[in-house]
């Protein structure tokens, strides 16, 4: 185990390598990103978990992906109630401001947020805020409990993690400006699941699953909701 100080020093060393790669050796990419702005085609909603970094596991580069991260990769339903909305405002910026073509909800194995949901519902006594947050996924908890009984908690959690991705995916469609763009064919919604116990990436085939393993031969993975534009499939 590294000490906290050494762990921080590793990040600073990492920045040295990043700077060498993108600023000292060849700064063309960042020059372009500065002058032309960011134009990512993909938005990912991922979990804050340190083991499931969306850009790290997909080997994405600067400017490739607009990322929202929170506990359990959750998209809350559309709630235009005037309260502060971190996820919804990032979602709005990605869809309206950047006009992304794809939104990927990326869940993962051994998610602490989903485990809290399964154990405590919306009232985790250990935390002040998290219970209410993961409680937005109550539908996934009920769905799994209806389907599977007397299973190992770990097995239930794997089901619930995937069911949670599907809840967030369906919640995306409650935002009118997401649903409009899905309907006119300019936005596709994907539900992905990174199982790092096996080292596999899976994708939902529809808004209620099932999930299947993504292969590198899937040049344009089919979305769970919406259509892949033909110009990209070519
Ligand atoms: Zn998680």
pLDDT in tens, 60-72: 999 999 999 999 9
Query: What confidence tens digit (pLDDT) does each residue in 47-64 have?
Result: 999 999 999 999 999 999
Distance 178 CA to ligand 1 centre (A): 24
Report pLDDT for 109.
98
- The model's confidence at residue 153, banded by pLDDT at 50, 70 and 90, is confident
Is residue 102 within 8 Å of 187, Cβ to Cβ?
yes
Distance 52 CA to ligand 1 centre (A): 8
Distance 47 CA to ligand 1 centre (A): 5
Report pLDDT for 220.
74
| Residue 113 to residue 3: CA distance in whole angstroms | 26
Distance 73 CA to ligand 1 centre (A): 7
Distance 44 CA to ligand 1 centre (A): 14
User: To which residue do tokens 């109550």 refer?
Assistant: 138
Distance 115 CA to ligand 1 centre (A): 9
- Whether residue 31 sits in one domain with residue 143: no
- Whether residue 193 sits in one domain with residue 151: yes
Tokens found for residue 219: 């040049």
- Whether residue 77 sits in one domain with residue 100: yes
| Residue 204 to residue 214: CA distance in whole angstroms | 10
Decide if pLDDT at 146 tops 90.
no
Sequence-ordered list of residues with C-beta below 8 angstroms from that of 160, at least 6 positions apart, any chain: 114, 117, 118, 140, 141, 144
Span 145-171, mean pLDDT? 90
- The model's confidence at residue 229, banded by pLDDT at 50, 70 and 90, is low
Distance 105 CA to ligand 1 centre (A): 12
Least confident interval from 9-18, 34-43, 146-155, 200-209 = 146-155
Strands of the chain, DSSP E: 42-47, 65-70, 102-108, 188-195, 200-204, 211-213
- Whether residue 179 sits in one domain with residue 82: yes
Instruction: For residue 99, give its domain range.
Output: 38-233
Query: What confidence tens digit (pLDDT) does each residue in 198-220 have?
Result: 999 999 999 999 999 998 887 67
| Residue 45 to residue 164: CA distance in whole angstroms | 12
Distance 198 CA to ligand 1 centre (A): 16
Distance 30 CA to ligand 1 centre (A): 31
Nearest to 171 by CA among 73, 43, 77: 77
Report pLDDT for 128.
96
- Whether residue 28 sits in one domain with residue 57: no
Question: What is the SS3 assignment for 50?
Answer: coil
pTM value surpassing 0.75? yes
Nearest to 139 by CA among 175, 158, 113, 167: 167
Distance 166 CA to ligand 1 centre (A): 14
Sequence-ordered list of residues with C-beta below 8 angstroms from that of 95, at least 6 positions apart, any chain: 43, 103, 175, 177, 178, 181, 187
| Residue 103 to residue 112: CA distance in whole angstroms | 23
Distance 165 CA to ligand 1 centre (A): 11
- Whether residue 220 sits in one domain with residue 132: yes
Count how many domains the chain has. 2
| Residue 23 to residue 39: CA distance in whole angstroms | 20
CATH number, domain at 122?
3.40.1050.10
Q: What is the mean pLDDT of the chain?
A: 92
């Amino acid at each position: 185990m590294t000490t906290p100080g050494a762990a921080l020093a590793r990040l600073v060393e990492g920045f040295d390598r990043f700077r060498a790669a993108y600023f000292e050796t060849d700064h063309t990419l960042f020059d372009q990103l500065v002058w032309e702005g960011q134009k990512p085609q993909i938005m990912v909603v991922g979990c804050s978990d340190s083991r499931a970094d969306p850009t790290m596991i997909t080997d994405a580069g600067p400017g490739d992906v607009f990322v929202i991260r929170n506990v359990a990769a959750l998209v809350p339903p559309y709630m235009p109630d005037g309260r502060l909305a971190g996820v919804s405002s990032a979602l709005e910026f990605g869809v309206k401001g950047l006009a992304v073509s794809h939104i990927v909800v990326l869940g993962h194995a051994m998610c602490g947020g989903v485990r809290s949901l399964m154990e405590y519902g919306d009232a985790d006594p250990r935390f002040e805020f998290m219970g209410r947050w993961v409680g937005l996924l109550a539908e996934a908890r009920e769905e799994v409990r209806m389907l599977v009984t007397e299973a190992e908690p770990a097995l239930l959690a794997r089901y619930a993690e995937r069911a949670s991705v599907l809840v967030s995916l369906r919640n995306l469609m409650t935002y009118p400006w997401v649903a409009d763009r899905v309907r006119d064919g300019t936005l596709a919604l994907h539900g992905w699941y990174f199982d790092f116990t096996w080292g596999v990436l899976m994708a939902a085939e529809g808004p209620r699953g099932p999930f299947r393993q993504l292969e590198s031969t899937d040049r344009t993975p089919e979305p769970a909701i919406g259509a892949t534009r033909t110009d990209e499939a070519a």
